[in-house]
Structure 1
Amino acid sequence: MQFVARCAFIMLVPIGALGLNACGAEREEAAAKTEESAPQLDVIGLPNGATILAARGSPGFEIANYLASEDVSSRSFILGGSEFAPWSAKPQPEAEARLATLAQLLSAYPNAKAKIVGHTDNVGTAEENRRLSLERAQAVVELLVGRGVNKDQLEAQGMGMDQPIASNDTDAGRSQNRRISIILDRVEATD
């Protein structure tokens, strides 16, 4: 009996080693796929000497390119949607990182003007949603000022539920509609 147990053990060791190698190869393959699918971050230098990291196509990347351009037309940007929980004027934690980047950008471009526009889903009355959307915009303005943006660069506006970007028939759509959009104007410096 001991002989059979020893033989079984001896046969399992190489099989186990193969399994470990396969797991290691699977882990390496999964890590490579994750690295490939992760957004590539660009380091963007700002005129005030600060830098930000932004993925190509992200709101931060697009805003930085607009502000650095010669384009003086107004441009509208959405920070990412799902910025607020239902009936809350406090930005969600994942939105605060995007707002921190926006604060850095606006601080680096003191001649830029930003209209911070709050939006809601369609739950509740039009008046409740208009009030809540303005509270959201004002909360974002306060957050940006708290991060060093000149309050004279900012204006808050509430749109209520009037401009949905997704269907209000689903939780996911309503979540996307609870957002902040930014309308930026580059104002030429006057010497």
Structure 2
Amino acid sequence: MELTRTIIETKAEEYRTQEPLYLVEQEQIEGLPGAFESGEFGWRDAEWVVRWYYRRSLGDVPNAERRAAEDRFGQNDFEMVKRVIGDAATASDVSERVSRLTTLEGVDVPVASAYLLFIDPSSFIVVGERELAVLDAAGQLPEVYPDTLSLEAYETYLERCRSLADHLECDMWTLYRALWRLGSELDDIQRVRILSSSN
């Protein structure tokens, strides 16, 4: 698979016109960064990111897994959630941001990456099986990729995505939308290869 500027633009536009969650995502991309930075957000705003991470695939994640993650997040004290998100929004280091976010119940590295997307969509991108599979198919990942749930794996992925965005002259939100659409076109074998190879 080749990732070109034309392909990225085309797939990002497909996402805009065909993905059912696009309008609410765009609204949150525009509103949540400022709210998270200022601390002017409610429980539903914080919870929405967790729900979005698991529901964006529209059924690919088993309901039991999704509900368990959402229930775990619901165990957090809201004042702690506000403090952690505020700390993550102002931290200068990726490792520190992720480490702070993963102190919350129900937030692992992939979910933390979703928070980073909505904290600063110009600098961060969410990570998941689908996005990783596209970069793997395009030869953009190391031959031996670490555990996809690790901080180190996210940092490697983020570095590659930032490099691609610079090379293709697109922003991270556009790149995410394109990767998501491209990932939907890969068959299941391609999408799980990267996960099985790391075990």
TM-score range, shorter chain: under 0.3
Q: Higher relative contact order by CA 8 Å / sep ≥ 6: 1 or 2?
A: 2
- Which protein shows a greater Rg? 1
State the TM-score, normalizing by the size of structure 1.
Answer: 0.23
- Between Structure 1 and Structure 2, which shows a larger proportion of strand residues? 1
- Relative to its length, the structure with more helix (as a share) is 2
Task: Give the TM-score, by structure 2 length.
Answer: 0.23
